[in-house]
Amino acid sequence: MINDLWYKNAIVYCLSVATYMDANADGVGDFQGLMRRLDYLHGLGVTAVWLMPFQPSPGRDDGYDITDYYGVNPAYGTLGDFVEFTHAAKQRGIRVLIDLVVNHTSDQHPWFRAARSDPNSPFRDWYVWSERKPPGAAKGMVFPGVQKSTWSYDREAKAWYFHRFYDFQPDLNTPHPKVQAEILKIMGFWLQLGVSGFRMDAVPFVISKKGANVRRPVEQYDILRLFREFLQWREGDAIILAEANVLPKTDMEYFRRCRRSHAYDVQLSGQSSFVLRTGFCRLPASDQGPLCHAAATGHRAVGNVLAQS
């Protein structure tokens, strides 16, 4: 098998560090415990481990509300433990994929704290604000019935902020060049520590235009191309696995956009599972083909789309 196409025959095992194995008997799983089980995973035939969020977090959304993109939750260990784990996995021929949650942060993240405290903060534009409640605030919730709005008023900022998910997860202004540069920095950091790719959370929202005046979703596919090119430059055989939650009727629209982005060598495998060598595509969450077999996690959809240049 060609090394940079390793994902085509990969057996991907998704797990939560917190619930896997506890090495220090404190009731919480950790990287030391996970490392002890690598031989077991290797014996199962696993060739890639996909880790759910393990960064510092208040834990209000299973770790998807991140407060530090460059750290490890102290309950799970240290950065040193993480590096030791990736090295041990590599010795057994197991690659490590991690969640890349960059559509939103926790409202406790230092970026948001700085943004809400000072309108002149350099982080103010890293989030999406409005002086008045936008007319479409009651539409577009990810969790209808739980969420009542996609805009919430912040008393400290004296402005409304946008959140596609819960109100404690303000959306990052992902079209902003400085936010995109920071995302590349995050990717580069974890690549340097030994990961082989990312499962990117909430991709349709990451690439959508955001703001009080946006009336309908407008996907900006160039953002994905930027991420892919950076990943290819830093680590030629690294991959991006996208959370897939678009409707079936949207599949071909994404496929056509990918072709416009110079995608080629496309293979169709299983139930509409696209693998692109120089592009990026997305699929419905319910379509879990043979390329990635992983259990759904709570209310989060699990996709199975891999992008590889």
How distant, in Å, are the alpha carbons of 63, 201, 231, 235 from that of 225? 27, 16, 10, 15
What's the rounded Cα separation, in Å, for the pair 208 and 103?
10
Concatenating the DSSP letter of every residue in 181-192 gives HHHHHHHHHHHH
Where are any strands of DSSP class E within the chain? 12-15, 48-51, 95-100, 129-130, 151-154, 159-162, 197-200, 239-242, 267-269, 273-276, 305-307
Active-site choice (243, 251, 253, 287): 243
How distant, in Å, are the alpha carbons of 2, 108, 235, 269, 288 from that of 6? 7, 38, 13, 15, 19
Q: Residue 235: helix, strand or coil by DSSP?
A: coil
Could you give the strand order of the β-sheet that contains 95-100, starting from the edge strand earlier in sequence?
A: 12-15, 48-51, 95-100, 197-200, 239-242, 305-307, 273-276, 267-269
Active-site choice (171, 201, 219, 251): 201
Query: Annotated catalytic, 171?
Result: no
Query: Annotated catalytic, 243?
Result: yes
What's the rounded Cα separation, in Å, for the pair 298 and 188?
29
Q: Residue 241: helix, strand or coil by DSSP?
A: strand
Catalytic residue list: 201, 243
